[in-house]
């Protein structure tokens, strides 16, 4: 398993637990967060915070699991494929297979690149 796996899992624990402090604690203050499949690019904690607050408002819950790590072996880059389960407010479930590419420096992620199947649930706007 990747040496960055604990940081990745902490990031997803923050996302799934709607815990913005835990989530942002894994990201450098100037982190660049992009949803490559939907032309979204955010910079810094304020923009990233807004995106996750919208995600949590638009869903009853989100869950990420079935992680598969591909480590670049350089101590700073890892790709992670995983399943996403979004629970909508009406109780229906939406499943996705996504892949994120993380770049870390000094214990936090400086860049997160998301490749998302289906509808964009991580948007710039509300």
Strand-pairing partners, residue 113, are 34, 101
CA distances from 97 to 36, 37, 66, 81, 117 (A): 15, 13, 10, 7, 6
Q: Pick left, alpha or beta for residue 54 (phi over 0 → left; psi -120 to 50 → alpha; otherwise beta).
A: alpha
Walk me through the domains of the chain, giving residue ranges and CATH numbers.
5-115 (3.10.450.50)
Each residue of 38-68: pLDDT tens digit?
888 999 999 999 999 988 998 999 999 999 9
State the pLDDT at residue 117: 78
**Chain segment 19-42, per-residue pLDDT in tens:** 999 999 999 999 999 999 988 899
Torsion of CA 42, 78, 2, 80, to 10 degrees: 80
For residue 118, pLDDT over 70 is answered with no
């Amino acid at each position: 398993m990747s040496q960055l796996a604990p940081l990745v899992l902490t990031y997803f624990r923050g996302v799934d637990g709607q815990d913005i402090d835990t989530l942002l604690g894994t990201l450098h203050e100037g982190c660049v967060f992009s949803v490559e499949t939907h032309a979204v690019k955010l910079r810094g904690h304020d923009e990233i915070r807004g995106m996750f607050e919208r995600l949590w408002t638009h869903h009853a819950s989100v869950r990420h699991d079935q992680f598969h790590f591909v480590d670049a072996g350089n101590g700073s880059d890892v790709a992670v494929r995983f399943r996403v389960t979004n629970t909508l407010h009406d109780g229906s479930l939406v499943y996705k297979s996504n892949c994120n590419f993380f770049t870390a420096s000094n214990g936090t992620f400086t860049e997160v690149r998301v490749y998302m199947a289906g509808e964009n649930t991580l948007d710039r706007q509300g």
